Amino acid sequence: MNRGAPLQRRTPLRARTPLTAGTGLERSARLRPRSAKTAALYRNERVPLVAELFAEPSICEVPWCTSLATDPHEPLTRARGGSITDRGNVRKVCHPHNVMFASDEQPWMYELGFLVHSWDAAS
């Protein structure tokens, strides 16, 4: 069987992206980072709580850290049933430790109370 030359494209290939021009999937407005209800909760309760906690400069709550506390950290995350407006669920930590708590789970973080499992919080 003689197959001959391979077929040639008549139109060039376009980059395959989720939102290519002309597909009808273009957005007319930017995505909202939060729902209106959550944005109101942040504006009315969370922002004043954090402002009150950070009114006075303090040191990071990690025992061996001597950096200035700049970030609020929630040991019991919202995904695990925590609240963003609960004063007892906010610890003052430096930015590098806050990033570390969000990206890596080490046993010492649970031992010192910087991360909490949902089943530990229920008891």
- How many domains are there within the chain? 1
Residue 102 has pLDDT above 80, yes or no: yes
**Residue-range definition of the domain harbouring residue 56:** 36-122
Residue 73's nearest CA partner among 103, 12, 114, 38 is 114
Which is higher by pLDDT, 9 or 93? Answer: 93
User: Is residue 69, in this structure, part of any structural domain at all?
Assistant: yes
User: Where are the alpha helices (H) located in 1-106, listed in sequence order?
Assistant: 36-41, 47-53, 95-103
User: Is residue 31, in this structure, part of any structural domain at all?
Assistant: no
Residue type, 1: M
User: Is residue 29, in this structure, part of any structural domain at all?
Assistant: no
Neighbouring residues of 70: CB distance < 8 A, sequence distance ≥ 6? 54, 93, 94, 95
User: Is residue 10, in this structure, part of any structural domain at all?
Assistant: no
Confidence at residue 22, expressed as pLDDT on a 0 to 100 scale: 55
Residue 83 has pLDDT above 80, yes or no: yes
**pTM over the 0.75 mark:** no
User: Is residue 13, in this structure, part of any structural domain at all?
Assistant: no
pLDDT digits (tens, 9 = 90+) for 37-77: 888 988 899 899 999 999 999 999 999 999 999 999 999 98
| Maximum Cα–Cα distance across the chain | 84
